Amino acid sequence: MNILYVLNSGNVGGMELHSVALAAGMVKKGHKVFVWCPEGEISDLFKDRNVSVTNKKIKFELDICYIFSLYRFLKQKHIEVLHAHELKAVFNSLIAGFLAGVKVRISHTHTPISRWKIDGFKRFIDMKIYMLVVNLLSDKEVALTESVLEQKNKEGIMKTKLIVINNAVDTSDLLFSIKERDDFRNSTREKYSIPNDAFVIGCVGRLTEEKGHELLIRAFKILTKKKIGNEKFFLMIAGGGHLEKDLHNLTKELSIEDSVIITGVFSDKDKVKMYLSFDLFIFPSLAEGFGLSLTEAMYLQIPVISSDIEVLKEVGGDTIKYFNSGSAEDLAKNMEKLFEEIKTGNEFDLSNAKLRVESKYSMENFIDNYLNLYNSLL
């Protein structure tokens, strides 16, 4: 079949990597796959996987020129399945897909709009527009977990439109020997001038409001004020985004800038090196659709503390630790407790987290579930 994926982001993040994995899987299954997305690193990742890429960016909430161009493309390439990700792409491409008579139209906003950390009035309007266009023009709206499905239903999307398909982890890029893991750890710490004997607390993710990085920095300040033994604590926030400058300023305000590293944007091939430099992984998200970096850390068997929002508890189960979402004090307390467990060798069995990822979030199941969805609607 001819499949088109539509995104309005050229950066690397959870949604974008989800789309890359899905497109690559469909190519391997023998289907002809196209992508419309802006220029950027994610565009190159698609091309590396033999996906035909058209670089187009949606400029307005309702972009008539974009809709007309996409309409012509859908007709010319005889697209049978149109799968759009996030609000702008869904809104504009579903209109084009409907007008072009595309047989299967799939929509997918990964984090429910009601949980977006934006102006309340804009969030309300976005949610109502999305609900209307999905209910009218989409064949199915994907939710990554059952809790996300329930939230989308509360936002007004009809239950008959909703389907749960879990995300997946591409574990082929996460397999390393002990020596390789040690080399990555040492080289990354050397690059960022972190002492080898330091205890590194880390996080991987785009620097946006819903990811909770400010909370993590404040919790780190509370932890370091306690001066636990002679321990050298470092915090590494791996990622870039529009909050980067604000977070740098916050570390200076709290007088912890010498022990906090904010890497900025880094290449995808360096991501695993970041993980393997951590002694403890924190996932402080205030809103989430799934949590890809959380599952990657679980697979790599790094001790994890996550915020206790419903979707993340559904993903991590009883294989990781949780703190009260939004509470820097509770996060600091949990970091101190798990640090003591790690130092005394009493931490929980990390293999359970890896096994959970392997059993629930395999790439094979992920591709098959989407292929079954497409075929069932053709």
The whole-number pLDDT of residue 58 equals 97
Q: Which residues pair with 81 in a beta bridge?
A: 3, 104
pLDDT, tens digit, 9 for 90 and up, residues 7-44: 999 988 889 999 999 999 999 999 999 999 999 999 99
Q: Are residues 31 and 124 in the same domain?
A: yes
pLDDT, tens digit, 9 for 90 and up, residues 52-66: 999 999 999 999 999
CB 208 within 8 A of CB 285: no
CA pair distance 141, 145, nearest whole angstrom: 12
- The phi, psi pair for 347, rounded to 5°, reads -70, 160
CB 1 within 8 A of CB 81: yes
- Residue 38: is it exposed, middle or buried by C-beta count within 10 angstroms (0-12/13-18/19+)? middle
Q: Are residues 147 and 287 in the same domain?
A: no
Q: Are residues 71 and 111 in the same domain?
A: yes
Q: Are residues 16 and 160 in the same domain?
A: yes
The whole-number pLDDT of residue 349 equals 77
Q: Are residues 161 and 179 in the same domain?
A: no
pLDDT, tens digit, 9 for 90 and up, residues 169-193: 888 888 888 899 999 999 999 999 9
pTM of structure: 0.86
Domain assignment of residue 12, given as a range: 2-168+362-377
When pLDDT is cut at 50, 70 and 90, the band that residue 117 belongs to is: confident
Q: What is the CATH number of the domain that holds 101?
A: 3.40.50.2000
Q: Per-residue pLDDT averaged across 324-335, rounded? A: 97
When pLDDT is cut at 50, 70 and 90, the band that residue 231 belongs to is: confident
The whole-number pLDDT of residue 238 equals 95
Q: Are residues 248 and 322 in the same domain?
A: yes
Nearest Cα residue to 223 out of 356, 336, 104, 350: 336
Per cent of the chain over pLDDT 90 is 88
Taking each helix axis as running N to C, give the angle between helix 120-137 and helix 87-100, from 0 to 180 degrees, rounded to the nearest 10.
30
Residue type, 34: F
CB atoms within 10 A of CB 155: 17
Q: Are residues 94 and 142 in the same domain?
A: yes
The whole-number pLDDT of residue 343 equals 85
Q: Are residues 238 and 135 in the same domain?
A: no
Q: Are residues 75 and 188 in the same domain?
A: no
Q: Per-residue pLDDT averaged across 329-349, rounded? A: 88
CA pair distance 141, 161, nearest whole angstrom: 6
Higher-confidence residue of 216 and 342: namely 216
Q: Are residues 99 and 179 in the same domain?
A: no
The whole-number pLDDT of residue 348 equals 64
Q: Name the 3-class secondary structure at 2.
A: strand
Q: How many domains does the chain have?
A: 2
CB atoms within 10 A of CB 213: 27
When pLDDT is cut at 50, 70 and 90, the band that residue 347 belongs to is: low
CA pair distance 347, 254, nearest whole angstrom: 30
